[in-house]
């Protein structure tokens, strides 16, 4: 409790004297977050965003799961807030919870694949919306581009899984492959 009061007062004083102040606090328990890789069907492209807030960089859209909200509800809410799109066919791909993957706090992230017919445009946390074909996404991952969180590693794993689809069980990937 005292620690929270000290942090709160530090923010007030720092704001009062004109300093920008960002608090990075590791919680005792991890928080649940979601991120989504969206495929825009009419454009035949994947959506990534350039984040507007720290940590900056290229990322999948997403955010925190609020109280009394399922991860899928959080993903839909974040899609509307950040991209102004309605998601279809939401499928959980993996969970990622390595300590340090988010510099702000310890988080466990559910990564999802979804489709949409809507054309996205930037919202709350998205400075820029970028769309890539599968081949362009592969090229972006090979370049020296800054990604937020561990999203580059996650996306590389997804691309590798898609390439290996004939060798492993690919329930969500088979849906994607029919769209390509």
Residues 6+ apart with CB under 8 A from 2: none
For the cut 50, the answer to whether the pLDDT of residue 21 exceeds it is no
Between residues 64 and 11, which one has the greater pLDDT?
Answer: 64
| Under 8 Å between Cβ of 80 and 92 | no
What φ, ψ does residue 147 adopt, rounded to 5°? -110, 145
Phi then psi for residue 115, to 5 deg, are -120, 165
CA–CA distances in Å: residue 163 to residues 115, 131, 134: 19, 20, 11
State both tokens at 139.
Answer: 């090229």
Mean per-residue pLDDT, 62-81: 97
Tell which residue, 84, 153, 86, has the closest CA to residue 114: 86
Residue 65: predicted pLDDT: 98
Query: Would you kindly state where each structural domain of the chain is located, as residue ranges?
Result: 30-179
**Rounded CA gap, 30 and 151, in Å?**
18
Q: Give the architecture-level CATH label for domain 30-179.
A: Alpha-Beta Complex (3.90)
List the single range of 11-25, 110-124, 147-161 with lowest mean pLDDT: 11-25
Question: pLDDT band for position 178 (50/70/90)?
Answer: low
pLDDT band at 14 (very low <50, low <70, confident <90, very high): very low
122 contacts 44 by C-beta, under 8 angstroms: no
Torsion sign, CA atoms 140, 145, 150, 151: negative
CA distances from 68 to 28, 64, 65, 72, 112 (A): 20, 12, 9, 12, 19
Other Cβ atoms closer than 10 A to 154: 21
Mean pLDDT of the chain: 84
pTM above 0.85, yes or no: no
> Phi and psi at residue 12, in whole multiples of 5°?
-60, -50
């Amino acid at each position: 409790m005292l620690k929270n009061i000290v942090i709160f007062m530090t923010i007030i004083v720092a704001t009062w004297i004109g300093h920008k102040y960002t608090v990075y606090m590791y919680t005792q328990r991890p928080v649940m977050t979601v991120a989504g890789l969206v495929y825009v069907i009419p454009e035949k492209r994947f959506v990534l965003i350039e984040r507007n807030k720290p940590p900056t960089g290229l990322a999948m859209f997403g955010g925190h799961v609020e109280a009394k909200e399922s991860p899928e509800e959080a993903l839909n809410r974040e899609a509307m807030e950040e991209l102004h799109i309605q998601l279809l066919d939401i499928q959980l791909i993996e969970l990622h919870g390595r300590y340090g993957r988010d510099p702000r706090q310890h988080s466990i992230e559910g990564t999802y694949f979804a489709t949409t017919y809507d054309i996205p445009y930037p919202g709350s946390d998205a400075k820029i919306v970028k769309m890539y074909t599968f081949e362009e996404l592969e090229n972006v991952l090979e370049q020296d581009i800054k990604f937020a969180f561990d999203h580059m590693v996650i996306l590389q794993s997804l691309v590798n899984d898609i390439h290996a689809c004939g060798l492993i069980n690919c329930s969500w990937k088979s849906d994607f492959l029919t769209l390509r």
